Amino acid sequence: MTTDNLARLEGQLRLRDGALSAFAGIPDLDLGRLADAIDDALRRESQALEAGTQEALGFVPGPLRAMAAKLLFPRGAR
Amino acid sequence: MSDLRSRVEVMKLARELGIAEADLEFLRPVDAGALRDLRGSVADALFANHRSRFELLAALTRLLPNGITARIAQHALGPLLSSRIAAVLKPDDAAGLACHLPASFVTDIASNGDPGRLLPVIARLPEDLIVQVGLDLLDRREYLTLGRFVSSVDLEIIMRVVERATSEDLLAVGLFTEEPAALDGIMRRVDDDTLGGVVRAAAAGGHFDDAVTLLTALSPESCARLMQLAARFDEPTRAGVVTAIIANDVWPALMPAIPDVPADALAGFVNLPETADPAVVESIVRHAHGLDASAAFAHVLAVADAEHLTVFESSPALADPAVREWATAAGWKATV
């Protein structure tokens, strides 16, 4: 049986419906904890990437910094 | 056996997600293969989610001298993001950059990296750097990382690290190695003292389940060699191994190795009080018949003492005409 959180996991991981059928016996609450853990990992990595990219700019020599900023933030300077 | 392998997979998934193993304890009942697939999907999702950003940072490195990029990796990005970016860099560029980083930071990257994605980079790294990273991982007792990288590194290079490893280290690395063939390649090269020491280490730490996991990951030849070495230990140690074999029901994995275990060594396992349990004998007979492991069955019978043969004789499995016919063809002779 596909539970709400099993479907959520398959969506998070971009898997076809039923790909995680081996996990159908796990209580839905626990599957929710797993899905939350994946969301947390994605969020932590996003935050680290955002901070790391900003910090990286500080190491770029002055003459190249504008070009680097345009490269790293193509939708506009942060 | 599935329980042991599932435990290892849960540990690896927890590492991937940056959480404690205990937080994923509820996944332990799931088949290890399904957990491994899940881990791969999680790793893919984490990587794919920011891939375009990693590629932009990789593009930045092409504008900068390696020295500056190395400082950015260490002081701005850290090892996890650096491992992600290394995977989208041209392998030659990533390997060149690694040579500008302190070996300890390359070790940090290895601890966070996916060996599969970094394989082309690893193949281009200087051998001495790989060995240094391997030794750093040993010092840090980063067995999970070592186990994952074993199959991505040339065996000759691995052996330069293994020669500095203790039996305890080997036991732990063996638990996490993803490619049984790579593990077997290592075990074929280590001397008897070191390999036998794996069993001593398991006994000292009460890690018989780990030793059995290792046994079942090896080729029949290496498994037989390890059983032969383990047979030299005292009865409590042999009983510990057998108890773990029984508890994890790994007879099917051991059957192919049994014909290659010398008779005196095999007798040291077969004739223990633990194996005189009718339920254990029943399990052995059923598995041997199910796998048509007649050579293994015949070898066990040949070394079993009178007490154990009596238990075999009373096995309900041997009352089954089909099993009895098979057992007789394998050399079974009713003695009672």
- pLDDT tens per residue, range A41-50: 999 999 999 9
Instruction: Confirm or reject contact between A27 and chain B (CB < 8 A).
Output: yes
Q: What is the DSSP string of B44-100?
A: HHHHHHTHHHHHHHHHHHHHS-HHHHHHHIIIIIHHHHHHHHHHHS-HHHHHHHHTT
Q: In whole angstroms, give the CA distance from residue B209 to residue B245.
A: 8
- What does the CA dihedral A53, A58, A61, A67 come to, rounded to 10 degrees? 40
- pLDDT tens per residue, range B108-150: 999 988 888 898 999 999 999 999 999 999 999 999 999 988 8
Nearest to B180 by CA among B87, B259, B253, B107: B253
Q: Where are the beta strands (DSSP E) in chain B?
A: none
Q: What is the distance of C-alpha B115 from the center of its chain?
A: 16
Give A-chain residues touching B70 at CB under 8 angstroms.
Answer: none
Q: Are B187 and B218 in contact (CB under 8 A)?
A: yes
**Percent helix, strand and coil across chain B, each rounded to 5?**
80, 0, 20
Give A-chain residues touching B64 at CB under 8 angstroms.
Answer: 60-61, 64
Mutate to test the interface with A, among B5, B28, B72, B74 (most CBs of A within 10 A): B72
Give A-chain residues touching B66 at CB under 8 angstroms.
Answer: none
What sign results for the dihedral spanned by CA atoms B189, B191, B194, B200? positive
Per-residue pLDDT at B335: 56
Count CB neighbours of B92 within 10 A. Answer: 11
Report residue A26 as tokens. Answer: 């796990």
Per-residue pLDDT at A78: 52
Cβ–Cβ below 8 Å for B68 and A61: yes
Residue B327's contacts (CB-CB under 8 Å, 6 or more residues apart) are: B285, B289, B297, B318
Helix axes B294-303, B321-330, angle to 10 degrees: 70
Q: Are B198 and B174 in contact (CB under 8 A)?
A: yes
B171 to A27, B9, B144, B152, B166: CA distances (angstroms)? 34, 17, 11, 19, 9
Report residue B91 as tokens. Answer: 């392998």
Which of A26, A46, A58 is closest, CB to CB, to B30? Answer: A26
Mean pLDDT, chain B cut into blocks of 10 residues (336 residues total): 80 94 95 94 94 94 93 96 95 95 96 88 94 96 91 92 92 88 92 92 90 90 95 94 92 94 96 94 93 94 93 89 90 67
Q: Of how many residues is chain B composed? A: 336
Per-residue pLDDT at B336: 46
